[in-house]
A = this chain, B = another copy of it.
Amino acid sequence: MTTLNIEQWGLFETRFTGPAEGNPFLDVTFSAHFTNGDQTLKVNGFYDGSGTYCIRLMPTALGTWNYTTHSNASALNGLTGSFECTAPSAGNHGPVYVHNTFHFAHADGTAYYPFGTTCYAWTHQGDAMEEQTLATLKEASFNKMRMCVFPKDYPWNKNEPPLYAYERDADGNHDFTRFNPAFFQHFEQRVGDLLKLGIEADIIIFHPYDRWGYARMDADTDFRYLSYLIARLAAYRNVWWSLANEYDFMLEYKPMERWDRFFQILMAEDPYNHLRAIHQGHPEDMYDHNKPGVTHVCIQHPQVRQVVQWRKQYGKPIVDDELEYEGNIFYPWGGISAEEEVHRFWLMVLNGGYAGHGETYMHPDDVLWWSKGGVLHGESWKRIAFLRQLVEAAPGGLSPEIDADSGVFPRPVSQWLWNRYAGGFSGDYHLLYTAEYQPRTLMLWLPQDDSYQFELIDTWEMTITPAVVRKLAAPPSYAYPAPGRPEPTYEVDMPGKIRMALRITKR
């Protein structure tokens, strides 16, 4: 007998035949215990239609995993099996978790810095466009995708989806007690496609843009849907749970208690504790991201400099997934220039947060990347890839140079003058950004007895060139008299251009 080998954090799946009569989604319970030495994981299975029942596992440890199934259907109860968990293949670093309070890392310790994009309804556009989206993603440098499970009804999003999440009768009425397995098979295929590209799937479970009834299902239907989703998808290592897009636009019919319950269900039923967040619509009146189920803060806000305060307020990673999109539509949330999009990314990331991209250029066929995917038309995505490279060259994620309480920059590189520029550091790696300012010189307060590499970065042209830097014997004439303050030690020639950066690496 050959042993089945599954790599660590890979996807083990096994299928059984069971009852097809009645309503298996309601009638049949199905789960399994997986054990490996001291470890036991309880995993819910799911009905996949046509009398097929499925159990999936993402093995979290090397070695032999044995399982036993449990069901109220005798054909599915007490079944056993095993597989061997082998070392992960190259590029498989496991699921992403919170690391070092404000940052993320894969399960194997590899740093993960989210540079995501958004194609809310890309899995509902048919294979041709979906394949085009995947081809685009392969060329771009995004490593997270915000995407809705349910199809979307919204301006520029009026097309019917190829598949529906529930069975429908001839009149288009849904039976919300019967999932449509083909819909979910297709969705998880796309999650798997992203996984192959090294892209985390930030799965939006509920959203208000709806004409089919998915947004306004009752509580029990919502809970059943969420459990089904977990049973199907949790074993994909690239899954992040985003409970909602703009949850607050649904409070009228999904009250806060239900959202709390959703977090509880995720915590109880996802054996791997994938990342959990919730996204809101109104920029003020924030969701209480301090709630324990919330692993990181997903934000929609154009005022990205506030990340310094959000870090302090929540003590969790901050991801501003909607700092507004590059585009040219009427709505300001989808109308900023590529330059502004890149600028906000820099401000966000240097201040110790993360950001999400989107693109909303008007299109003759209403194919806007932010919703349908397709191809990128804009200019920001390349610069975001460039920023990603710079951040990945920093060991362990950037922290802001600015102090949230005092507004002062305590780091010696930047000092008290940097209150309108932005600076992020990681150990002795500093990235300073001039934002909307165009200085001809920068003063620095680095210890002169250390040795550094200084590089000038054009954030738009994506060039990195050696900077001209002078050690100062005395402060330059334009320095404020500063009794009691340390004196600047270096002066850097700058090009007098906005949105430049300086990288300082201690040698």
Contact = CB atoms under 8 A, between A and B. Distances in A.
A331 B417 contact: yes
A329 B494 CA distance: 10
Query: Of A337, A420, A478, which is in contact with the most chain B CB atoms at under 10 Å from its CB?
Result: A478
Contacts of A421: 332
B436 A336 contact: yes
Contact of A480 (B155, B366, B434): B155
A185 interface: no
Nearest to A211: B481
A436 B478 contact: no
Contact of A332 (B328, B420, B479): B420
A11 interface: no
Interface stretch (A45-53, A186-194, A439-447): A439-447
Interface string A328-356: 11111101110010000000000000000
B478 A335 contact: no
A131 B327 CA distance: 49
A438 B335 contact: yes
Interface in A158-173: 158
Copies of the chain in the assembly: 2
Given A302-B420, A436-B336, A436-B337, A330 B498 contact: no
Contact of A439 (B302, B328, B419): B328
A156 interface: yes
B436 A329 contact: no
Contacts of A477: 155-156, 158, 366
B479 A436 contact: no
A496 interface: yes
Contacts of A434: 335
B478 A156 contact: yes
Interface string A306-336: 0000000000000000000001111111011
A437 interface: yes
A195 interface: no
A420 B329 CA distance: 13
5 contacts: A155-B478, A332-B420, A332-B437, A337-B436, A337-B438
